[in-house]
Copies of this chain bind each other. A is one copy, B any other.
């Protein structure tokens, strides 16, 4: 059986966009499975005293992030556009992702959300934008939306966020391996996949 790397992501995270657009292909090449696990950075940031994104709190870091991601998106041939309002509230998108998983479309829907948010600069708190993303992922928008407000879905997202904090995760994207290693940042994706493959029981 393939080892599994858990991909921890937040829809307001620019670097998670970079990973979302390449993780399935990279993992397939490395013969590793991926579990897509959305969580919310808000509660984790607030616990360390941040009321907004560190890219807003530290403007030099924010300006650098935009340039850094622009360079990498360009090198990888994907579009990049900062949304006018940043960070956005990714709560609805995260709940829809959990609901979409029951139909095997959580990764496809997540990629559609990232493509809208950071590829086109659209507001993913907007219901019409999310409906388009659900449709793009081949889902019945009404059905998934109804499921997404179920108490079990809300509880699962809360549990994901609590689990992330308990694992020591403080940013996104993060990757965890079956033996408990945490890797942070799109630039650690290859290391995480490599680690999982080499440490997998035969």
Interface, chain A (partner B; CB < 8 A): 48, 58, 60-61, 63-64, 67-68, 71, 168-171, 181-185, 187-188, 191, 195
- List 21 interface pairs A-B (beta carbons < 8 Å), by A numbering: A48-B58, A48-B60, A58-B170, A60-B169, A60-B170, A61-B170, A61-B171, A63-B168, A64-B168, A64-B170, A64-B182, A64-B184, A67-B181, A67-B182, A68-B183, A68-B184, A71-B181, A71-B191, A185-B187, A187-B187, A187-B188
Q: List, in ascending order, chain B residues with CB within 8 A of A64's CB.
A: 168, 170, 182, 184
Q: Report B-chain residues with C-beta under 8 Å of the C-beta of A63.
A: 168
Note all chain B residues with C-beta closer than 8 A to A68: 183-184, 188
What are the residues of chain B within 8 A of A169 when measuring CB–CB?
60
Q: Hey, which chain B residues are within 8 Å of A60, CB to CB? A: 48, 168-170
